[in-house]
Amino acid sequence: MQVQDIFKKDTSKELLSIYYTAGYPHLDSTMAIAEKLEQAGADFLEIGFPYSDPVADGPVIQHSSEVALKNGMTLPLLFQQLAALRSRVSIPIFLMGYFNTVLQYGVENFCKSCQEVGVNGAIIPDLPMYEYEELYQEVFAQYGISNIFLVTPQTSAERIRKIDALSNSFIYLLSSNATTGKNLEVGEQAEQYFQRLKDMNLTNPLVIGFGISDKGTFQKATNYAKGAIIGSAFVRLLADDNYIDKINPFIKSIKTS
């Protein structure tokens, strides 16, 4: 599926995206979770590749990364697991992780592997705009891989415009300046900021993440944005022995109106 499609067609639809860490809770759980999430109705996914020093993450995703690394997850192994991706899962998939892992794999090699297995894009929080533009934009474009930028309440309007110009699938709007997994109130201030972004009429759709954990926060976020991302709240669910059976009710609890 072309990633741009889900953001364009059926414009009234609110998109639910789920983040989880590859190799957690088990080394080989990556594909099974993706399939189950698609069946349950998730619209697109972010699959995290673990890193030893995830500075943008709170305790839940830190823990999942640590366990995944202990289980033996690596980027080459993840691409092996994803080899059958497009025969089993059709919704858009983004890989999310830290830059050093990509650098060691080779940035071009990374883009090439993404293209080969059918991954649509990447979210690399510590790859800054300047470095992306100078060094890597071309190779991402060459392999048709979208690079997703983050925007926070502190990001200036000028910078947001530039991010919009460099993006080609969606912009990841952080509900607050925070690490992942904080239980945030989407309060008046956040709503004002979402409104400000909405009023900017950016070319790329907005997807809100960080602090989205349930139906209430999902609905609030999608009042202003095309979609919202749930990470830590979902990863927490995976700690359960019966996690596969919990996925469907979790997604349904958020998506049914």
Partner 1 sequence: MSKYQVNEKGYYGPFGGAYIPEMLYPNVEELQKKYLEIMQEESFQQEFQELLKDYVGRPSPLYLAKRLSARYGANIFLKREDLNHTGAHKINNTIGQILLAERLGKKRIIAETGAGQHGVATATVCALKGLECVVYMGEIDIQRQAPNVARMKMMGATVVAAQSGSKTLKDATNEALRDWINNPVDTHYIIGSVVGPHPYPDLVARFQSIISEETKKQLAEKTGNSLPDYVLACVGGGSNAAGMFYHFLADEQVQLIAVEAAGHGVNSGESAATTALGKEGVLHGSRSILMQTEDGQVVEPYSISAGLDYPGIGPQHAWLYKSGRGKYVSITDDEAMEAGLLLTKLEGIIPAIESSHALAYLEKMKFQGNENVVICLSGRGDKDLDNYMKYFGF
Among 76, 187, 216, 249, binds partner 1 (CB under 8 A): 76
The vertex-193 CA angle with 192 and 198, nearest 5°, equals 95
Return the amino acid letter for 159. R
Question: Is residue 71 close enough to count as binding partner 1 by CB under 8 A?
Answer: no
User: What SS3 string covers 74-87?
Assistant: CHHHHHHHHHHHHH
Tell me whether residue 5 is one of the annotated catalytic residues: no
C-alpha distances out from residue 108 to 37, 44, 179, 206, 217, Å: 29, 24, 29, 27, 37
Binding mask 6-45 for partner 1 (x = CB under 8 A): ----------------------------------------
Using alpha carbons, select from 75, 77, 92, 73 the residue that is nearest to residue 34: 92
Tell me whether residue 116 is one of the annotated catalytic residues: no
Among 1, 27, 56, 237, binds partner 1 (CB under 8 A): 56
Number of H helices, E strands in the chain: 14, 9
- Per CB under 8 A, the segment of 10-18, 69-77, 139-147, 225-233 that binds partner 1 is 69-77
Structure token pair of residue 117? 């297995």
Question: Is residue 103 close enough to count as binding partner 1 by CB under 8 A?
Answer: yes
> How many angstroms separate the CA atoms of 92 and 2, rounded?
7
Question: Is residue 174 close enough to count as binding partner 1 by CB under 8 A?
Answer: yes
Catalytic sites, residue numbers: 46, 57
Give the residues lining the site for partner 1 (CB under 8 A).
Answer: 51-56, 58-59, 62, 66, 69, 74-76, 98-105, 125-128, 130-131, 149-152, 154-156, 159, 174, 177-179, 182
